[in-house]
């Protein structure tokens, strides 16, 4: 099947779907539902695809590039190893993500640590692990990291800046405009911008080694021009710092945010195309500024893991509901909901679903897939055509749930979180086991 499904999703002549060579009915029987299913070959191919696309395009302009996988999209020990096997490094945003990357055996040098409010213990653990870079997010944090490090072993830092470029699928996930918490702005009505102040402050502290400048402009970006505008702004700041101090920083990170298809007919950004466009544009900017190119890095999360995942649910109650204009909407309740995928409720995100355990010759009906939680906003798929005979016991799959599904899951209504099951070459294994009610009760101290 095509996008938004992972490349390993196939519907056979009898209508039954397999993922990575495994029949979804076998997955449901073996692991229960709901379950997140990750197509390992698809995920690895996307990781490789991004790395190769950027390496090739940037080699053509004479620049190096590193690809960091943004673990916030979904991180487990196995996934950290897969992406590292494919030549990616790992970007973490908290001590918890750092702990997973370290448990996976990722060398500290291949890990980055972000965060706009890092705790002392997160900073200490990152330094102890020898992370390749700490991305500092505020002026006070620069001093905190410097105080925790030593001039004998300076901490490698990048300064996160905001360029004013807004991009992405939803206001909450556009992280570079000014009225928000991340980074240091490159804009200043007069005097040094906060970003310039940050860079100067890092240079003034012998306990810090200034690697470069970081900019992340948003998420689920489908119009790539924002990357180019932001990159030009960052390269300009780099050139300004050089003319001011003589220090031309070695690295520039352009962040993540590459958009994917969620619905049939949508198309994910093509890494080859976007790598080429960004490379051409940064080469032109560096040429205009008269500065040699830095080493670049990017941090895709969603684009690597999103399309590789699907969620398998079992249908329960099916209820026809007459809506205002007289049409019938069929409410199809599944055994999960907003606790395993908060994105529709939080961002109005749209998804696609299909009945995957059988075929049906019935005409389709307008359906809404809803969860089992106690609120009416508990919607999994707003509008989708499902077979008219959709019924209890049917297996339903929702496409492209690999990113920000399990990683944002909750225990709302004391619903245990589903397992993450990997499929590959006809076999399956649990990466993260299903939570149980005992797990939840174990936290309750009575
Ligand atoms: N780098 C930085 C500094 C980031 O803040 C993010 C995402 C990424 C990389 C990865 O972005 P991606 O390639 O995955 O778009 N929970 C939201 C997305 C929040 C993204 C926050 N930062 C969602 O479900 O859409």
Residues with active-site annotation? 374
**Torsion angle of alpha carbons 159, 218, 46, 295, nearest 10°?**
-30
CA dist., res. 252 & res. 103, Å (int): 28
CB of 160 closer than 6 A to ligand 1?
A: no
CB of 336 closer than 6 A to ligand 1?
A: no
Range 216-227 average pLDDT = 92
Distance, first Cα to last Cα, the chain:
49
Query: Are 62 and 205 found together in one domain?
Result: yes
pLDDT tens readout for residues 57-114? 999 999 999 999 999 999 999 999 999 999 999 999 999 999 999 999 999 999 999 9
Helix/strand/coil for 2: coil
pLDDT tens readout for residues 276-287? 999 999 999 999
Query: Which CATH number does the domain housing residue 221 bear?
Result: 3.20.20.10
Query: Are 80 and 222 found together in one domain?
Result: yes
Mutate to test the pocket of ligand 1, among 111, 115, 257 (most ligand atoms within 8 A of CB): 257
Per the listing, tokens 């509008």 go with 383
Give me the residues paired with residue 354 across strands. 397
CA dist., res. 258 & res. 69, Å (int): 12
**Torsion angle of alpha carbons 430, 436, 438, 444, nearest 10°?**
110
1 belongs to a structural domain: no
CB of 404 closer than 6 A to ligand 1?
A: yes
pLDDT tens readout for residues 122-181? 999 999 999 999 999 999 999 999 999 999 999 999 999 999 887 776 554 555 556 889
CA of 383 to the centre of ligand 1 (A): 25
Query: Are 343 and 368 found together in one domain?
Result: yes
In ligand 1, the atom with minimum distance to the C-alpha of 259 is 15
pLDDT bin (cut points 50, 70, 90) of residue 444 is: very high
Q: Other C-beta atoms within 10 Å of 294: how many?
A: 22
Taking CA atoms only, the protein residue closest to ligand 1 atom 5 is: 216
In ligand 1, the atom with minimum distance to the C-alpha of 408 is 16
Query: Are 244 and 388 found together in one domain?
Result: no
189 belongs to a structural domain: yes
The percentage of residues in the chain with a pLDDT greater than 70, rounded to a whole number, is 98
DSSP H helices, 119-160, are: 120-129, 139-148
Judging by DSSP bridges, how do beta strands 22-23 and 17-19 pair with one another? antiparallel
Domain count, the chain: 2
Task: Find the domain containing 433 and state its range.
Answer: 9-32+308-442
Per the listing, tokens 């684009």 go with 303
Residue 169 confidence (pLDDT): 61
CB of 255 closer than 6 A to ligand 1?
A: yes
Query: Which CATH number does the domain housing residue 323 bear?
Result: 2.40.37.10
Taking CA atoms only, the protein residue closest to ligand 1 atom 23 is: 404
Domain limit, last residue, from 244, 272, 305 = 305
The structure tokens listed for 157 are: 């830092």
CA of 97 to the centre of ligand 1 (A): 14
Query: Are 333 and 405 found together in one domain?
Result: yes
- Higher-scoring residue by pLDDT: 226, 135: 135
CA dist., res. 385 & res. 379, Å (int): 15
- For 181-237, strand residue ranges (E) read 184-185, 208-214, 218-219
Residue 168 makes CB contacts below 8 A (sequence gap 6+) with 174, 175, 217, 218, 219, 220, 221, 257
CA of 217 to the centre of ligand 1 (A): 9
CB of 183 closer than 6 A to ligand 1?
A: no
Domain limit, last residue, from 255, 288, 305 = 305
CB of 343 closer than 6 A to ligand 1?
A: yes
């Amino acid at each position: 099947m095509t996008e938004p499904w992972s490349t390993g999703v196939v519907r056979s002549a009898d209508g039954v779907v397999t993922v990575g060579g495994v029949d979804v009915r076998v997955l449901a029987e073996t692991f229960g539902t709901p379950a997140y299913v990750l197509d390992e070959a698809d995920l690895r191919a996307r990781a490789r695809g991004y790395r190769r696309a950027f390496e090739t395009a940037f080699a053509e302009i004479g620049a190096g590039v590193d690809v960091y996988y943004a673990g916030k999209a979904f991180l487990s020990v196995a996934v950290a190893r897969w992406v590292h096997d494919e030549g990616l490094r790992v970007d973490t945003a908290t001590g918890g993500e750092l702990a997973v990357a370290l448990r996976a055996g990722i060398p500290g040098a291949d890990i980055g640590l972000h965060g706009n409010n890092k705790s002392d213990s997160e900073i200490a653990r990152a330094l102890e692990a020898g992370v390749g870079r700490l991305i500092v997010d505020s002026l006070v944090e620069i001093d905190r990291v410097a105080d925790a490090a030593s001039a004998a072993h300076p901490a490698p830092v990048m300064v996160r800046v905001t360029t004013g470029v807004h991009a992405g699928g939803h206001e909450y996930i556009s992280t570079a405009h000014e009225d928000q918490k991340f980074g240091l702005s490159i804009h200043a009505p007069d005097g040094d911008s906060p970003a310039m102040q940050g860079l100067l402050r890092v240079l003034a502290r012998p306990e810090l080694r200034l690697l470069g400048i970081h900019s992340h402009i948003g998420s689920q970006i489908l119009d790539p021009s924002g990357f180019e505008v932001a990159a030009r702004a960052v390269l300009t700041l780099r050139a300004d710092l050089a003319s001011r101090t003589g220090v031309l920083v070695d690295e520039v990170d352009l962040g993540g945010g590459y958009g994917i298809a969620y619905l049939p007919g949508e198309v994910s950004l093509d890494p080859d195309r976007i790598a080429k466009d960004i490379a051409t544009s940064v080469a032109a900017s560096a040429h205009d500024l008269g500065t040699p190119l830095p080493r670049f890095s990017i941090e895709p999360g969603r684009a690597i893991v999103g399309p590789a995942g699907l969620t398998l649910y079992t249908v329960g109650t099916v209820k026809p509901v007459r809506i205002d204009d007289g049409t019938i909407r069929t409410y199809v309740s599944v055994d999960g909901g907003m606790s395993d995928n908060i994105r529709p409720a939080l961002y109005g995100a749209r998804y696609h679903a299909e009945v995957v355990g059988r075929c049906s010759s019935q005409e389709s009906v307008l359906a809404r897939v809803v969860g089992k939680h106690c609120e009416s906003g508990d919607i999994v798929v707003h509008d989708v055509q499902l077979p008219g005979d959709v019924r209890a016991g049917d297996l339903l799959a929702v496409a492209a749930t690999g990113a920000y599904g399990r990683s944002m899951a909750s225990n709302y209504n004391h619903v245990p979180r589903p397992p993450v099951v990997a499929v590959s070459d006809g076999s399956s294994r649990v990466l993260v086991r299903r939570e149980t009610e005992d797990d939840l009760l174990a936290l309750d101290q009575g």
